[in-house]
């Protein structure tokens, strides 16, 4: 319903672009692009990406859309110097084809909180059972030392880490990629260059340009809905799927940095209104900012956020009367 490109003939390619942090609007854009590609029976979806990461909720929505797509998805980290860090690594691992341009990088997928604090337990003190067994150490004799060196993270932190490890491991195994390194990207924030990723079987292709990538994947076989499909990209027509004005506005609001600022303004605005009843402006601005922040964090769908703003406006008009 939000498509702005012209209709294509069957067999063409839809190109999506992720540039910047991943938020709710990014997920809306990618999901809309995948739906459009399915409607026109496209041959391929290419997601060109340069991202430092983003919110976990939108990332998981994108991953689900890629996994359920009836059109093969090739994620291409580009241009030179770009990255697929944090949430971008999961999206790359979820794609049917993972490709990178030279001098790009991926990894550092350890979950962190919105404020930048580490959301996972400290694993440095965890004893290496394999090494102990190889060295012939007595397990009973090491019991007290191992207990003192156990990870200090909370139960929630361990849940977050273990869930992230399971997700990226399953995505890597789905396409026969290096699951061991994928786990290190989460547990150790490991990173790789494009050439290193190719050598370690983390990605399938290193391409200098989009055209080079299309030439390399011509005839490449991928599995879609349990069926093996050979791609035909020779002479394929490229169509850039552009976000409409609605998605562009929501992208600005849903940026993680903007969401954090909106949340702070909202909280302090309501606090000021509570300490100074009748000021009105701080309370109104604070309530609006909190609703927008709730949308950006995917605590509220965009329709509910809009409904909340309407209700707030009606309440303010009644209060004014």
Strand order of the β-sheet with 205-206 is: 205-206, 97-100, 73-77, 44-50, 13-19, 238-240
Collect all residues with Cβ–Cβ distance below 8 Å to 157 and sequence separation of at least 6: 119, 120, 121
Looking up tokens 């990894």, which residue turns up? 107
Q: 3-class SS at 211?
A: helix
Active site residue 159: yes
Structure tokens, 194: 């494009």
C-alpha distances (whole Å) from 23 to each of 84, 246, 250, 303 are 15, 14, 9, 16
- CA-nearest of 84, 91, 86 to 193 is 84
Phi-psi region of 151 (alpha: psi -120 to 50; beta: other; left: phi over 0): beta
Q: Which one from 64, 152, 159, 248 is the annotated catalytic residue?
A: 159
Rg (CA), the chain: 23
- For residue 211, report the phi and psi dihedrals to the nearest 5 degrees: -60, -40
Q: Which one from 32, 49, 69, 86 is the annotated catalytic residue?
A: 86
62 near 29, Cβ under 8 Å?
Answer: no
- CA-nearest of 272, 277, 310 to 291 is 310
For residue 49, count other CB atoms closer than 10 A to its CB.
25
> What's the DSSP call for residue 73?
E
For residue 277, count other CB atoms closer than 10 A to its CB.
8
Active site residue 148: no
Active site (catalytic) residues: 86, 159
């Amino acid at each position: 319903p939000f498509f702005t490109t012209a209709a294509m003939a069957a067999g063409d390619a839809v190109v999506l672009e992720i540039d910047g942090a991943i938020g709710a609007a990014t997920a809306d854009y990618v999901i809309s692009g995948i739906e459009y590609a399915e409607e026109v029976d496209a041959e391929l979806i290419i997601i060109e990406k340069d991202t430092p990461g983003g919110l976990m909720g939108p990332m998981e929505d994108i991953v689900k859309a890629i996994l359920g797509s009836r059109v093969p998805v090739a994620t291409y980290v580009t241009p030179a110097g770009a990255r697929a860090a944090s949430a971008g690594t999961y999206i790359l691992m979820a794609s049917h084809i993972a490709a990178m341009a030279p001098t790009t990088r991926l990894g550092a997928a350890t979950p962190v909180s919105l404020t930048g604090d580490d959301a996972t337990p400290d694993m440095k003190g965890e004893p290496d059972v394999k090494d102990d067994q190889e060295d012939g150490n007595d397990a009973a004799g090491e019991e007290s030392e191992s207990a003192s060196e156990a990870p200090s993270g909370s139960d929630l932190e361990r849940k977050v880490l273990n869930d992230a490890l399971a997700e990226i491991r399953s995505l890597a195994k789905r396409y026969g990629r290096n699951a061991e390194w994928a786990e290190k990207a989460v547990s150790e924030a490991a990173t790789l260059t494009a050439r290193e990723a190719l050598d370690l079987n983390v990605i399938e292709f290193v391409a200098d340009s989009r055209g080079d990538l299309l030439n390399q994947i011509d005839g490449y076989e991928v599995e879609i809905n349990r069926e093996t499909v050979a791609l035909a990209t020779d002479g394929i027509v490229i169509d850039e799927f552009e976000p409409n004005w609605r998605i562009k506005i929501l992208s600005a609001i849903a940026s993680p940095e903007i969401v954090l600022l909106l949340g702070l303004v909202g909280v302090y605005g309501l606090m000021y209104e509570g300490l100074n009843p009748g000021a009105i402006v701080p309370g109104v601005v604070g309530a609006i900012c909190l609703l927008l922040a709730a949308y950006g964090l995917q605590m509220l769908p965009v329709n509910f956020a809009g409904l909340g703003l309407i209700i707030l406006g009606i309440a303010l008009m009644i209060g004014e009367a």
